[in-house]
Chain A
Amino acid sequence: MTSGSTDGQGLKRHVKKNGLIFIVLLIGLGLTLLRFTCGIGAVTNLSDRNPWGFWMAFDLLCGIAISAGGFAVASAYYIFGRKQFHVYVRAALTTAFLGYFFEVIALLYEVGQPWRLVFPFFLSQGTTSVLFLVGLCVALYLMVLSGELLPALFERLGWRKARAKAVRLAAPLAVIGAVVAVIHQSSLGSLYLIVPSKMHPLWYSGLMPLFFLFSSLFAGLSMVVVEGMLAHKFMRDCADDRHARDADRAVLACGKGACLFMFVYFILKCVEVAASDNLRHLSSGYGAWFLLELAGGVALPALMYFIGARRGRTGLIKAAAIITVLGVILNRFNVSLVAFNYNLPAAERYFPSWMEIAVSVFLVTLLVIAYRGICSAMPILRTHEDHEKEIR
């Protein structure tokens, strides 16, 4: 009896503690129902002139950029043999897997007839479309990521032989994953190559595929750091001592990597603006916004990374990581919502409805819950004994 009442109290405390999450989930479920019974128009501000909105910008462009940490860290560790990244490998792969998985979930909301999403693969291949390449990469990379996480699953299940086989696949999968992810990240930039007349010249560039690739690399590495901070703060129960001990080394390594990619990206951006006839646009409102994105979202955190990495100050690197992630989110919003359709009159421009944002918040909440669940069930932030033997 007594234990029953304490359980009841526990539940109550749980509801109280997670009240906000319950509200988000309730609203999200309601909007999901509305979306699939009354159509996209019932929950979004999309129009015939603005066919892609907040979901495309946030769930897809930002989500995938941030998920790049998976292939960045896996490549650094498995291909380039950078031991420092070890503590982050599985965490980054898990995020990438969930990022891509929830991209597919978001697509179910985003496209008009989600039950036809298999058509491009099996029924009619539109090979002239960049979107076809994007879809192909998403499907392939999801499979690769599941393969890369198999060792963790088998450790959890205690299947030692299967685990040993899966571990041997790690390096080849890392190579395939890196290739697919590079193509995918750059092709997200290529999506916008087709609209030179609709996009502001400061953002439109033949180099967009490269911009998207490099920015995803530093966004991904930064997100791995941010995620490590969050895990350290809120998910200590899922992590072991090794994770806490080795984290600083990994933070430093991520900072160095991100700094390098940001340097390349920054130079590319500057050269592109100077070489094209775009310097004159810099004095306009769009120009100021562009400079803010580049200076605040790239140059500043890159400098912080540089100083942090040289002096070994992880605090500075962590701050830089947060700014970088926000900077890349700003960039993706600028490309897909601010620069796109820039020459339409103000009344015809798009602004998201609260419901679109609420659905995205709902999906992110589900992602975080799933991440927590996976980390507490599987050895992601802690090292399994079988694994421990190998990395000694």
Chain B
Amino acid sequence: MNRRKFLSLASAGVVAATAPVNCRPAAAAGNPEAAGVLHDSTLCIGCRSCEAACQSVNAAILPKPENYRIPEKPFYDRSVLATMRRTDFQRFTVVNRYDMEGRRPVHRKFQCNHCMEPACASACFVKALFKTAEGPVLYRPELCVGCRYCMVACPFFVPAYDYDNALNPLIYKCTMCAPRLASGELPGCVSQCPEKALIFGKRSELLKIARERIAESPEKYVDHIYGEHEAGGTSWLYLSPVPHKFLDQPEVGNEPASRLTSGILESAGAAAGILSFLLGAVCFFGGRRKSGAAEIDGARASDGGTHKEVSQGDKEDGQ
């Protein structure tokens, strides 16, 4: 990771010649006391209650299942679990089942991970996406231009787009039920989980719980809390009995997204300054005399500015 950062800085540095580059901590750094959710997939039975709850508490934003443009089986039908689904403009969360030889199938819940330093927020050029101090990464639809750079940037492939909407296409992703949190309620999915596979709490507390569970029954879990360090840490955390990559939880590296671009962005200004000074200097004192200047002086002459021409000549002699 250090090398990568070094290179991007070096690359900016070459453009800037000797730009003073210092990487500040990302502006959107998450609050460790903020809210998060822990999903323990050893407890998840794939009942899809969370999917149903999510739909009903977000009924203002999401369509009813019977109005889906891409039809889906009703929430009580568990046969869809085996098909690999993802979130889209009609649903903020899905649960997929992963069948593995020699063991019980593992269920994995998918929704926005609410990164501590979100790539989407760092990539958004209108600040339509932002991390709140309380934990959720939220979206202001009234600002969204629809460039979809957040979708490119998100290492977890979370933001979804309503491509078939011509007039008001928007990004769709989980809000961690921020309005419910504000009124002291649990996120919809957590509130309806019958197996307590989802726990809501402070991220620091959840990490403690997760570590305890791994320590208590190391045979049950892989020794990894997905989301503790991934992409600089996420508010959602996951425990799994199998390596997370088998659950389509990609290895994304531990560097927060904002650090990947802050260096180059900060040095852009310095690069512009130094480059304009150098080119300006060449232009003034250097080669310009040979050709472009003739053209410009010619223009002066045809402008009728004989006086200027003389003063220009003086300057030339002085050099």
Interface residues of A (CB under 8 A from B): 35-42, 44, 46-49, 51-52, 75, 77-83, 86, 110-114, 116-117, 119-120, 123-133, 135, 160-161, 163-165, 167-168, 170-172, 174-176, 178-180, 182-183, 186-187, 190-191, 193-198, 205-210, 213, 272, 276, 340, 343, 386-387, 389-391
Contacts and interface: CB of A to CB of B under 8 A. Distances in A.
B247 interface: no
Those 3 A-B pairs whose CB atoms lie nearest each other, nearest first = A112-B146, A206-B7, A390-B298
A282 B11 CA distance: 23
B168 A113 contact: yes
Contacts of B14: 210
B262 A128 contact: yes
B260 A81 contact: no
Among B165, B168, B295, which residue has the most Cβ atoms of chain A within 10 A? B295
Given A48-B87, A128-B121, A179-B275, 5 more contacts: A119-B126, A174-B283, A197-B253, A390-B296, A391-B295
Interface residues of B, number: 87
Given A81-B289, A207-B11, A129 B152 contact: no
Contacts, number: 268
Contacts of B128: 124, 126
30 contacts: A36-B166, A48-B161, A78-B292, A80-B286, A80-B287, A110-B147, A113-B168, A124-B127, A126-B128, A128-B121, A128-B258, A129-B149, A131-B147, A164-B303, A167-B299, A168-B300, A171-B288, A171-B292, A175-B279, A179-B272, A190-B265, A194-B261, A196-B4, A196-B255, A197-B253, A207-B10, A209-B264, A210-B14, A387-B295, A391-B294
B44 interface: no
B52 interface: no
B126 A123 contact: yes
B146 to A, nearest CB: 2
A336 to B, nearest CB: 9
A129 B122 contact: yes
B282 interface: yes
Interface string B130-145: 0000000000000111
Contact of B283 (A112, A161, A175, A191): A175
A156 B252 CA distance: 57
Contacts of B282: 79-80
Nearest to B267: A209
Contacts of B290: 81-83
Given A39-B164, A79-B283, A116 B152 contact: no
Among B7, B144, B164, which residue has the most Cβ atoms of chain A within 10 A? B7
B19 to A, nearest CB: 12
B271 A390 contact: no
Among A48, A75, A82, A191, which residue has the most Cβ atoms of chain B within 10 A? A48
Contact of A179 (B163, B251, B276, B294): B276
A79 B163 contact: no
Nearest to B172: A48
A112 B148 contact: yes
B253 A206 contact: no
B59 interface: no
Given A171-B283, A179-B279, A197 B4 contact: no
Nearest to B284: A171
Nearest to B149: A131
Contacts of A180: 272
